[in-house]
Amino acid sequence: MGSQNTRITRRALLQGIGTLGLMAAMARLVPSYVWASATTTGATSISPLDGKAIELLIDETPFRIGEQTGMAKTINGTVPGPLIRLQEGEDITLNVINRLKEDTSIHWHGLILPPDMDGVPGVSFGGIKPASTFTYRFPVRQSGTYWYHSHSGSQEQSGVYGPIIIDPIEPEPFHYDRDYVVVLSDWTFESPEALFNNLKKLSGYYNFQRRTAPEFFSDVGRWGWGTALDSYLSWDRMRMDPTDFADVTSHAYIYLMNGLSPAGNWTGLFRPGDRVRLRVINAAAMTFFDVRIPGLKMTVVQADGQNVQPVMVDEFRFGPAETYDVIVEPAEDRAYTIFAETMDRGGYARGTLAPRVGMRAPLPERRPRPLRTMADMGMMMEGMDMKGMDMGDSTNNQDGASHSHDPGMQMPGKEETQHVPDMDMMSDMPVDGRSHSKIPGSTPVQHAPGHHGPGNQAVAEYSRSRLDEPGVGLANSDTRVLVYTDLKSLTPYPDQREPEREIELHLTGHMERYMWSFDGKKFSEAKEPIGFRYGERLRLTFVNDTMMEHPLHLHGMWMHLENGTGAYLPRKHTVIVKPAERLSVAITADAPGRWAFHCHLLLHMEAGMFRIVEVTSKEPEVRS
């Protein structure tokens, strides 16, 4: 490991840059807090901003990818914005200067702070006017990996986002030699307003992976004429598409890793044997990513900035706004591809871990696009005559070939999850006698009468917990995929009270009309905030009546995901709710004021999937 041909010296690095015409930037190697990039585009690497007073300038800047150049809304001239590095326990001042011709804002995603510092125009402050400066001041009361972004219009889609690292007061419970931020995002040369208008005109405007005639005849060969035809007609009658996984696809998007396209090939350097920490942030506006590094296992050590008991996986899926910190241990003197594939399999972001600048590893084989199932519709399978039809999580390529391990019918909720033996890293985990608890929704719940009005296209016949499912397109594989039931807080969470009451909130939408809402009402139609009583412990239950996954984000307070881990429920600022899923979080209402709550798919939020939560000292009114 210390041989001459594996040691990275300053001279060797400069020679590599000069020979390849690449740019790379490196700071301290143990750990390294910089984005070391290798690119032929001449992109500038970003050094972290730190200190107790930080200045951020929001402006428009030309942004080039390949042969195309567009105008991005940038922070300090870059996409993503600069890496901000803070220290737990300090008071911080951030001056945000607006040089745009429109109002702007910055929301510090996942940070616990006063409501007037949260940065949501119309909820907690008035926004930042053009040619003005707004000063954010707040105490830093946590540590971990977070990010920040504009909460004004569609500026987040146009480039106003960046990462945050908060160093802890106490030593971290895991060690690593190198430290890299990996920001995933989606970029379009179309205006965000054009994306929205196109979806309003035709909900499947960007879906070019619909089922084909050859695929239908392949299904006929597997299932028979009657079953195949009935399946296709059923989807048609429901006016839904089983290939609908992403509103906006690679037809409009280029997927970026640290601001670089797949051709740009962001690179993080290592010495063989290093333990490398990757802080992976989904800063996309509309994209779910499946992240893997072929040839390397990933040990998940943080979720949404919070330490979790380590779990080793091959892959994880995460939605916009979620973050996962993983540690990998590349032992060989070779390059490894960091591969972030979109959930609909239409595109990807990529980067490289390598011992030297300029190295690349092969891309993994692209996987066929999956199909929605009856489980995603919330239909119970008992008693239904499916004639051996595979209704599970088989993935199908364009000619309809099945890639499921089980050719028989896959019952909802019966997907296998993979488990690995306890690792040495977990041998010292604390135990307090309560490591298991009930998961709300484990028993399917039949939908009550009513369909939430014209703002909702359909409802799940039954909703249930799907926390142990990796997600459509990832089940029945030979790889170990992270699931929500894997996440356990490193230490018991402080408020062990049982929830005093429960609020049930339905996720609703009408894809054909591109309307998104809660309980069938857009934000403009919701007359009253969702009321929390200060100091109470309550359960918030989400029921997804749509055919899409939704990342739900609550500002100002943590959500304890009720995933069956007893006293070790993980804290999250964003949770993914699968189709037909019933998912519950426990909340301690410890933050008085008005807070935003919304789907973090940007266009869903803009279309109406947004509410205000108000924490008051009074008894909240009963919601109609």
Q: List average pLDDT for each run of 10 residues in the chain, which is 624 residues long.
A: 36 35 31 35 55 94 91 94 95 98 98 98 96 98 98 97 96 96 96 94 75 59 66 60 82 94 94 97 98 98 98 98 98 98 95 95 90 70 37 36 29 33 38 77 84 77 93 87 98 95 95 90 94 97 94 98 98 97 97 98 97 84 50
Asked if residue 342 is part of any domain, the answer here is yes
**Is there a contact between 110 and 72 (Cβ–Cβ < 8 Å)?**
no
Dist CA 461 CA 197 (whole Å) = 31
In this structure, the answer to whether residues 338 and 464 fall within a common structural domain is: no
Asked whether residue 478 falls in the same domain as residue 339, the answer is: no
| Residue-level pLDDT at 46 | 47
Listed residue (18, 15, 35) closest to 26, CA to CA: 35
* End residue of a domain, out of 332, 354, 376: 354
**Distance from C-alpha of 372 to C-alpha of 476, rounded to nearest angstrom:** 15
What's the total number of domains in the chain? 2
Q: How far apart, in whole angstroms, are the C-alpha atoms of residue 616 and residue 599?
A: 23
Q: Are 63 and 166 members of one domain? A: yes
Do both 137 and 257 map to the same domain?
Answer: yes
Residues 342 and 440 reside in one and the same domain = no
Q: Which of 336, 354, 372 is the last residue of a domain?
A: 354
Residue 370 lies in a domain: no
Statement to judge: residues 280 and 137 lie in one domain: yes
pLDDT at 218: 65
Last residue of a domain, one of 297, 329, 354: 354
List the CATH number of the domain containing 70: 2.60.40.420
Taking the C-alpha atoms of residue 62 and residue 55, their distance in angstroms, rounded to an integer, is: 21
Predicted local confidence at residue 415, as pLDDT = 34
Give residue 506's pLDDT: 95
HSE toward the beta carbon, residue 202, CA cutoff 13 A: 5
**Residue 259 one-letter amino acid:** G
157 assigned to some structural domain? yes
Residues 322 and 458 in one domain: no
Work out the burial of residue 617: count CB atoms within 10 Å of its CB; fewer than 13 is exposed, 13-18 middle, 19 or more buried. exposed
**Shared domain check, 165 and 277:** yes
Determine, yes or no, domain membership for 380: no
Is residue 42 included in any domain, yes or no?
Answer: yes
pLDDT at site 230 = 63
Longest dimension (CA), the chain: 72
Answer left, alpha or beta for residue 450, where phi above 0 means left and psi between -120 and 50 means alpha. Answer: left
Residue 133's Cα: distance from chain center in Å?
A: 30
DSSP assignment of 512-541 equals GGTEEEETTB-GGG--SPEEEETT-EEEEE
Residues 451 and 329 in one domain: no
Residue of 228, 238, 239 lying closest to 203 (CA atoms): 239
- Report whether 403 contacts 474 (CB < 8 A): no
> Quick one: pLDDT at residue 13?
36
Same-domain pairing of 490 and 588 = yes
Kindly state whether residue 364 falls inside one of the protein's structural domains: no
pLDDT for position 234: 63
- 444 shares a domain with 343: no
**290 and 157 housed in the same domain:** yes
Taking the CA atoms of residue 471, residue 476, residue 479 and residue 485 in that order, the dihedral angle to the nearest 10 degrees is 50
Tokens at residue 62, please?
A: 């030309």
Does 202 fall in a domain? no
Cβ 162 vs Cβ 315: under 8 Å: no
**pTM of this structure:** 0.84
Q: Is the dihedral of CA 316, 321, 322, 326 positive or negative?
A: positive
* In-domain check, residue 132: yes
Residues 603, 248: contact at Cβ < 8 Å? Answer: yes
Which domain range does residue 164 map to? Answer: 10-190+252-354
